[in-house]
Amino acid sequence: MLLVIDVGNTNIVLGIYSQKSLVQDWRIPTYRKNTVGELHLTLNQLFQTSGIQLSQIDQIVIACVVPSVAKHLVSFCEKHVKASVFWINTATQSFMPNLCVPASDLGADRLVNALGAHHLHPNEDLIVIDFGTATTFDVISAKGEYKGGVIAPGIQISSEALSRKAARLPRVELFVIPEKIVGTNTVACMQSGIIYGYAAMVEGMIGRIAQELGVMSRVIATGGFAALLAKTCSVISAVHPTLTLEGLRCVAELVWPKP
């Protein structure tokens, strides 16, 4: 079995693959201060509730953008797992042509998103939007080239900054789509500004990218807020909640090709 791990700033997403089938996946908060023992306990509990043993894992692929967590994962793999481990590192590995200069500027999570999207939609010009801690736009050509992208503040960060910096504005529920754009109370006004304002930003950015490149691309969304924004953004054509995991699986196929 293959274990894939994507360590983000907010969440750690894990998946178990048997051949090409995702048989189990989990999302847990990223705790930077967890010890190796705590990490082992958490993973063991996840595996046991799913009827999977660590001893069944043959291969592990990891993408990590949080250095403090990476250290614990290295120790965990060395102490508790007898499996081949591969770390995504854009400075030394290239699984698709990467036009970033320097190549290491492309985060591991964005690389595997691009790889997964190109695998799912080959021979198409693509834009992948990952609605995570940051909102990233990644442009992939029909040839499978990573052409570049955009990084914007994430929707949750924007919402929290608004309530933190404005003394009389409360924190609001983000997974609510307002019935009207023009709100009639503070909460409704904030929800409209955050949800519809963010949707307008996404639509405007996609339009500007298309104008700059002269190409209309298929737009794929992933990340925690993808399903929500897909309901309000006319430009999003598909939502792939496990896109990063699929990209990590593709990396495993490249690293350990089947005969």
Conformational region of residue 114, where left means phi above 0, alpha means psi within -120 to 50, and beta covers everything else: alpha
**CB of 113 closer than 8 Å to CB of 208:** no
Active site residue 109: yes
In this structure, the strands spanning 134-140 and 218-222 are: unpaired
Give buried/exposed letters for 127-147 (b at 16+ CB in 10 A, else e): bbbbbbbbbbbbbbbeebebb
Bridge partner residues of 222 (DSSP): 130
Residues contacting residue 208 through CB under 8 Å, at least 6 positions apart: none
* Helix locations, 166-185, DSSP H: none
The rounded distance, in Å, linking the Cα atoms of 115 and 15 is 17
Catalytic residue among 6, 58, 109, 130: 109
**Residue among 125, 134, 149 nearest 208 (CA):** 149
Element (H, E) at 28: strand 21-29
For the stretch 169-178, contacts whose Cβ atoms lie closer than 8 Å and that sit 24 or more positions apart, written own/partner, are 174/225, 174/228, 175/228, 177/228, 177/231, 177/232
Q: How many CB atoms lie within 10 A of CB 165?
A: 8
Catalytic residues: 109
